[in-house]
Amino acid sequence: MTESSRRKFLHDVSIGLGTAAIAGSSPMVIAEPGVARRNAEITTAGPQGEIPSATIDFRYSPLSFQTAYCFPDDHLKSLIGENGELRYGHPGLGGGIAYFPEVVEFSLEGMEPNQLGEQWLEAPGIPIIHTRLDRPEAVMNLTTFATRRKSEGRVDNVILEVRPRTAHILGAVPVVILQTKHEAKLQSTEEGAVVRLDSDQAPPFLLSDCSIADPLVGGAKLTFPLFPAVISTGRPLRYFLRFPQEGQPVEKLKDGLAHPEQLLAEAREYWQNWKAYEGKVSMEFPGRHGEFLTACARNIQQAREVKAGKLTFQVGPTVYRGLWVVDGNFLLEAARYLGYDAAAQEGLEATWQHQEASGGVFAAGGSQHWKDTGIALFSLVRQAELAQDWSYFRSMQSNVARAVKFLIGLRDKARTDGSVNGRYGLLAPGFGDGGLNDIHSEFTNTIWVLAGLKALTEATERLSLPDPGGAKQFYSELRTAFFAAAHQEMRRHPDGFDYLPMLVKDDPLWTAPHLWDRPRPQTAQWALSHAIYPGLVFEKYDPIVQGHIRLMQACTQEDVPAETGWLPYGGVWNYNAAFVAHVYLWAGQTDWARSTFTGYLNHASPLYCWREEQPLRGSLTAIYVGDMPHNWASAECVRYLRHMLALEDGRDLRLLAGVGDFELAGGEPLRVVQSPTRFGRIDLDLEPLDGHQGWRMKFQRGTGPLPENVCIPATLGRRGQFTKITGAEVARRGESLLVTPAAASWEVIWKA
């Protein structure tokens, strides 16, 4: 398998399933008074016949997960595992997902092992992480947070507290377990103890406010017993442990060692003042949707980092700590939806810094990820649309022309290489990704390039710019060739419908000796989802679109399409579900869109983040793939929620396309403020009428190109019937109402 793949299916970088028995007893933690636990089930019944329930309760959460608790744009990507362990030293790109040179665990001496009681955030926007580990006679609570006092620098902190379950007196010896390949040196101080790795002169790795006994060696682990104590209900045991992240000397940290509550309060205050949005942009959703939106904004900011002088939207903190062109396209769109305009522009420029002398744009996806050049073109157009500023697009026309000529060269070269792609007149065989490894005659590269060329040619025509590199003719030729090839390559599914596989029929992978090595019908369909939406390469009733929808529905397990990526049996590619939910939303299949998006949210950890791929419940494999928090996943959550209220469908603006009884059930407002679209910034405010007898939506659009149509539903949910509109006129079209496109401000009412 090639090193160019960032989604390699390698057993030696996989991790086994963890266990997480979620108990119902109340945690005993150091938390701000009034802070609510966020992982209690929220149930809102959907309408009769809805497929399936829209309950968001983390029912398919991975059993092994990790969470970032560092600061925004922090180059120190602090991570905590599901059992409260700290994970340090991941090398980044090229390292296995479980490769952490140093892992710090917390436990108690005794006969029984720890059982995970619960782990949660103080709030979706406050990554102070509480972990409860249960023993038969006691509970250990860990409060983990990052600080960066000017006088101290960056430090990770853990408050360890032990309380008995019963009223009688207990003796307790907490332990810190260090997994490391380095030699550890223990030093006693007046304030407590210091652990250094390698030598007495090395920077401190751990500072404790208590004495620590000499470590017990067990394999690759060192167990440091902390000072023993007698505890009772009224006298819990509490220690403060500090992990300096910048090699700070002990002298800089010892004052803080004596005041854990102050440091915790400072961290809490920072995050309480942190904003998910920038500028005038904001979004408001009730319940779980709002929680996920806030957490995903935080996830995205925590993964960002300055690289080569540009703020880069990175996919994750470990194996995907870098820039991918396709992931970046969606991260940059989500960034605009969150108001990060300046950062998004930097991110776009960072993408184009990867253009090579050949004209091709390649980042971490590898040198035969031909689609990245087409995606870079798509991003260039989309970012200009959202910014309502085409100056950077205009300045890049020579780069664009080089990119187009590079793609034409790929097509022309393939015509003489004897490949199936060459015979069809498509791009040269390339790397498919998403379950298609190595180089094959496949369609993912061609269809994403079609999406990029379509966006480019339409933009240059609107702006009356010269055709860059012959893009218009090339798009026409490649499109014609693709549809002719697709007609030949459609296959019959066992369930009785036709679909387009992403790998050509005569590829030997289809008949590989080992069944495990054969692609599934749904393998690598991710690129087709993108070409459908947002690429808009197809009409809604195209047989390719209908076959894709049927295929995604046929492979749905745990409410999401399954076995679509690198895990061909018993696995789910989590955020692929969001791609498909967008296809359903665009195609008008609102129930399928809602259930699939809900299934996607239910595959997040209870701390609101996703691993790329994970086993299905009941799977007989234990493979996890990719980074976590995976922030293409975070971006997809942000994008879907915005599109649920305002979906750009070519030259049409569709409002409330994803809103139904589930979204309305709580009777709370849904809002977007100054949200960017290709038609200018919009304000949309949907709120219940007095007495909850209906709904009122106020809409306003700023400066920008006029949409051809502005669509709203004639019926909102099952009961809300259109009653009147003020400030515009409407005309009926099927189940939708068309609002006067030129009307910049209007109000509409639906009544029960």
| Each residue's pLDDT tens digit, 572-594 | 999 999 999 999 999 999 999 99
Residue 236: which pLDDT band, with cuts at 50, 70 and 90? confident
- CA distances to 55, 121, 510, 638, 677 from 291, rounded to whole Å, are 14, 11, 43, 11, 24
Q: H helices within 490-542, ranges in order?
A: 526-532
Structure token pair of residue 237: 């045991």
Give the up-direction half-sphere exposure of residue 727: CA atoms within 13 A in the CB hemisphere: 14
Residue 29: which pLDDT band, with cuts at 50, 70 and 90? very low
Q: Any idea which residue has 């659009």 for tokens?
A: 701
Cα–Cα distance measured from residue 149 to residue 331, given in angstroms and rounded to the nearest whole number: 30
Residue 234: which pLDDT band, with cuts at 50, 70 and 90? confident
Query: Using H for helix, E for strand and C for coil, what is the string for 296-334?
Result: HHHHHHHHCEEECCEEECCCCCCCCCCCCHHHHHHHHHH
Q: Give the rounded distance of the alpha carbon of 94 from its chain centre.
A: 20
Residue 726 backbone zone (phi > 0: left; psi -120 to 50: alpha; other: beta): beta
Percent of the chain with pLDDT over 90: 84
Q: Tell how many helices (H) and how many strands (E) occur in the chain.
A: 17, 39
Q: Give the rounded distance of the alpha carbon of 680 from its chain centre.
A: 26
Peptide bond into 534 cis (omega under 30): yes
pLDDT (average), residues 512-540:
96
Q: Give the rounded distance of the alpha carbon of 502 from its chain centre.
A: 24
Res 10 pLDDT > 60: no
Bridge partners, 212 (sequence order) = 226
Indicate the SS3 state at residue 660. Answer: coil
Cα–Cα distance measured from residue 466 to residue 719, given in angstroms and rounded to the nearest whole number: 51
Q: CB neighbours (10 Å) of residue 364?
A: 21
| Each residue's pLDDT tens digit, 332-344 | 999 999 999 999 9
pLDDT of residue 490: 98
Res 465 pLDDT > 50: yes
Residue 169: which pLDDT band, with cuts at 50, 70 and 90? confident
| Each residue's pLDDT tens digit, 723-740 | 999 999 999 999 999 999
Cα–Cα distance measured from residue 484 to residue 446, given in angstroms and rounded to the nearest whole number: 13
Cα–Cα distance measured from residue 626 to residue 315, given in angstroms and rounded to the nearest whole number: 10
658-751 has CATH 1.10.3470 classification? no
Q: 490: buried, middle or exposed (CB in 10 Å: 19+, 13-18, 0-12)?
A: middle
Cα–Cα distance measured from residue 267 to residue 270, given in angstroms and rounded to the nearest whole number: 5
First to last CA, the chain: 58
Residue 484, C-beta contacts closer than 8 angstroms, at least 6 positions apart: 424, 425
Q: Give the rounded distance of the alpha carbon of 373 from its chain centre.
A: 22
pLDDT of residue 366: 86
pLDDT of residue 5: 37
pLDDT (average), residues 539-562:
97
Indicate the SS3 state at residue 237. Answer: strand
Q: What per-residue string of b and e applies to 556-565 under the rule 16 or more CB within 10 Å gives b?
A: bbbbbbbbbb
Q: Any idea which residue has 């971490």 for tokens?
A: 364
Q: Any idea which residue has 């904001």 for tokens?
A: 282
Q: What per-residue string of b and e applies to 101-110 under the rule 16 or more CB within 10 Å gives b?
A: ebbbbbbbee
Q: Give the long-range contacts of residues 95-98, CB within 8 A, separation 24 or more.
A: 95/13, 95/318, 95/319, 96/10, 96/12, 96/13, 96/14, 96/319, 97/13, 97/14, 97/15, 97/318, 97/319, 97/624, 97/625, 97/626, 97/627, 97/628, 98/13, 98/14, 98/15
The one-character DSSP state at 586 is H
Cα–Cα distance measured from residue 123 to residue 120, given in angstroms and rounded to the nearest whole number: 8
Res 1 pLDDT > 70: no
Give the up-direction half-sphere exposure of residue 71: CA atoms within 13 A in the CB hemisphere: 19
Percent of the chain with pLDDT over 70: 93
pLDDT of residue 21: 29
Q: Any idea which residue has 């006693």 for tokens?
A: 188
Res 500 pLDDT > 90: yes
pLDDT of residue 598: 97
Strands 652-655 and 709-713: parallel
pLDDT (average), residues 119-129:
98
Res 82 pLDDT > 90: yes
Return phi, psi of residue 622, to 5°.
-135, 40
- CA distances to 442, 486, 506 from 423, rounded to whole Å, are 12, 13, 13
Cα–Cα distance measured from residue 325 to residue 348, given in angstroms and rounded to the nearest whole number: 9
| Each residue's pLDDT tens digit, 365-388 | 888 999 999 999 999 999 999 999
Return the higher-pLDDT residue of 288 and 168.
288
Res 665 pLDDT > 60: yes
Res 454 pLDDT > 60: yes
What is the model's pTM?
Answer: 0.93
pLDDT of residue 48: 34
Residue 474, C-beta contacts closer than 8 angstroms, at least 6 positions apart: 404, 407, 408, 411, 453
Return the higher-pLDDT residue of 555 and 734.
555
pLDDT of residue 217: 83
Instruction: With beta carbons less than 8 A apart as the criterion, state whether 433 and 523 touch.
Output: no
pLDDT of residue 603: 98
Cα–Cα distance measured from residue 688 to residue 720, given in angstroms and rounded to the nearest whole number: 11
Return phi, psi of residue 529, to 5°.
-55, -45
Cα–Cα distance measured from residue 128 to residue 37, given in angstroms and rounded to the nearest whole number: 12
Instruction: With beta carbons less than 8 A apart as the criterion, state whether 635 and 296 touch.
Output: yes
pLDDT of residue 53: 57
Return the higher-pLDDT residue of 29 and 650.
650
Instruction: With beta carbons less than 8 A apart as the criterion, state whether 531 and 451 touch.
Output: yes
pLDDT (average), residues 134-163:
96
Closest C-alpha among 537, 530, 648, 522 to residue 578: 530
Structure token pair of residue 77: 């990507």
Q: What is the largest CA-CA distance in the chain?
A: 83
Res 524 pLDDT > 80: yes
Residue 20: which pLDDT band, with cuts at 50, 70 and 90? very low
pLDDT (average), residues 518-546:
97
Cα–Cα distance measured from residue 243 to residue 159, given in angstroms and rounded to the nearest whole number: 12
| Each residue's pLDDT tens digit, 206-227 | 999 999 998 888 777 999 999 9
Mean pLDDT of the chain: 91
Structure token pair of residue 590: 């609102």
